[in-house]
Amino acid sequence: MITAIVLIDCATDSIPEVAETLANLPGVSEVYSVAGHVDLIAMVRVREFEQIAQVIAGSISKVPGVLGTESHIAFRAYSQHDLEEAFAIGLASAD
């Protein structure tokens, strides 16, 4: 699975509508409304590298209200969940 993190600038008066539209696009797994220098962050997850361009340039960028995007391709994923599983050796949690 290939993951891209897409930072999205959009028209401020249409953030909720743009987010809903983006969330329904094939290849977009999540959309977050965020504070900061961008309005939305979309997580794109596809099976083949070529699909990234189709989703970002072919779909996300063409949604009315999207003013610009900046894309980042993930090389590797790290999460607390992954780390806990990696170090768990079948012992019950002490919690």
Query: Which of 11, 4, 10 shows the shortest CA–CA distance to 52?
Result: 4
Q: What are the residues whose beta carbons fall under 8 Å from the beta carbon of 37, sequence distance 6 or more?
A: none
The gap between the terminal CA atoms of the chain, to the nearest Å, is: 33
H or E segment at 62? Answer: none
Does 94 score more than 90 pLDDT? no
- Cβ atoms 37, 22 nearer than 8 A: no
Over residues 2-7, mean pLDDT: 96
Q: What is the pTM of this model?
A: 0.81
Does 18 score more than 60 pLDDT? yes
42-92 pLDDT tens trace? 999 999 999 999 999 999 999 999 999 999 999 988 877 665 665 556 555
Stretch among 7-11, 14-18, 64-68, 78-82 having the lowest mean pLDDT: 78-82
